[in-house]
Structure 1
Amino acid sequence: MSPMTYRVCFVCTGNICRSPMAESVFRARVEEAGLDELVDVDSAGTGDWHEGDGADPRTVTVLEEHGYGSDHVARQFRASWFSRLDLVIALDSGHLKALRRLAPTPEDAAKVRLLRSYDPAAGDDLDVPDPYYGGTDGFAACLEMVETASHGLLAEVREHLEGRAA
């Protein structure tokens, strides 16, 4: 991985539902854009409850039904990662607050953004709701939000890359 690599990490609570979904979708967008050599995508959770586990079976099902890969091992986000990441994408405002508290510097805290802030149609509700306790339709709704916001996020990442190349 070159020092030019732009690193994005998606973060939810346990790293088994929302963030692996966002990771898979965004990786697909990055590959479609031909930027996979330049952009590194991963995910983590604010807690360690599921560390070492695969993604929730319902996440895997929804991803596969929509043609996304779902190879995943859950892990907990560490404050030490901030220094090597360009963007830390929180799936809801609770994660945003937790990650900003964890950030060692104000610059690091500024790297934390809400995923749905990249969706111009999202309005005021920028949380991707946790589908864990609901049925599969909650996972499908989640995927739709993630897909919509991924386009805006990709546009921003592309701008950063062009800025670095300039």
Structure 2
Amino acid sequence: MTRAHSPSEDAQPFRISFVCTGNICRSPMAEVVLREHVARAGLAGYITTTSSGTGDWHVGERADQRTIDALARRGYDGSMHRARQFETDSFENFDLIVAFDRSHERILRAWAPNEIERDKVRMMLSFDAEQAHLRDVPDPYYSDDAMFDAVLGMIERSSQALFRQIAPAIRLGVR
């Protein structure tokens, strides 16, 4: 029987970047939600999350107020988020890059400098077997609060599934 132990103190954290269009709706939701899972599990030093957008329209802005409100309704704090654009030379800084729809996936894979970096790109819903067939997380930007809540629900399920996949390896000190 293998006994679980704490991650090695000199291990590099597992680094995840969530990437959507403008970094004000979907990707900040996922960053905040997964960060909360990580904190609750006591793994804050071992898994890091960031988010960004494929476009630069909102760089420096807060998350969309409807994003902040949807997060708050579920007990999360998204108020500190500031939008940024994904930098094409930052692939090597991440172990996993999560896209929210097929357009993000295509863009990120096109930006990747090689196959190793392209292989880091995964779709958000792919982590949750019950939602994987949907492929895309809808963009709630042109919709109402109900859609933001629905999208957050999809992201929570996928984030929880993602966390269940990576946490055991992190706890064992394996990357």
TM-score (norm 1): 0.94
Match of 1:92 among 70, 79, 101: 101
Offset at 1:7?
Answer: 0.4
3-state secondary structure, aligned to 2:133: coil
Matches of residues 4-153 of structure 1 in structure 2 within 5 Å?
Answer: 4-70=12-78, 71-153=80-162
The alpha-carbon distance between structure 1 residues 160 and 92, as it changes in their structure 2 partners (threshold 3 A), is farther
The runs of at least 4 consecutive aligned structure 1 residues that moved more than 6 Å come to none
Counterpart AA for 1:154: F
TM-score (norm 2): 0.90
Counterpart AA for 2:81: H
3-state secondary structure, aligned to 1:55: coil
The alpha-carbon distance between structure 1 residues 17 and 155, as it changes in their structure 2 partners (threshold 3 A), is same
3-state secondary structure, aligned to 1:9: strand
The alpha-carbon distance between structure 1 residues 2 and 135, as it changes in their structure 2 partners (threshold 3 A), is farther
Question: C-alpha distance in 2, partners of 1:95/1:2?
Answer: 33
Offset at 1:124?
Answer: 1.7
Offset at 1:27?
Answer: 0.5
Counterpart AA for 1:121: E
Q: Which runs of 5+ in 2 are unaligned?
A: 1-8
Higher CA-based Rg: 2
Offset at 1:149?
Answer: 0.5
Bigger mean CA offset, 148-157 vs 35-44? 148-157
Percent same amino acid at aligned positions? 42
Counterpart AA for 1:97: R
Question: C-alpha distance in 2, partners of 1:75/1:12?
Answer: 11
The alpha-carbon distance between structure 1 residues 123 and 116, as it changes in their structure 2 partners (threshold 3 A), is closer
3-state secondary structure, aligned to 1:124: helix
Question: C-alpha distance in 1, partners of 2:132/2:164?
Answer: 19
What CA RMSD, in Å, does the superposition of the two structures yield over aligned residues? Answer: 1.7
Offset at 1:91?
Answer: 0.9
Offset at 1:19?
Answer: 0.4
CA contact 2:11–2:173 (8 Å) conserved in 1: no
Offset at 1:51?
Answer: 0.5
Question: C-alpha distance in 2, partners of 1:115/1:148?
Answer: 10
3-state secondary structure, aligned to 1:44: strand
Question: C-alpha distance in 2, partners of 1:165/1:123?
Answer: 26
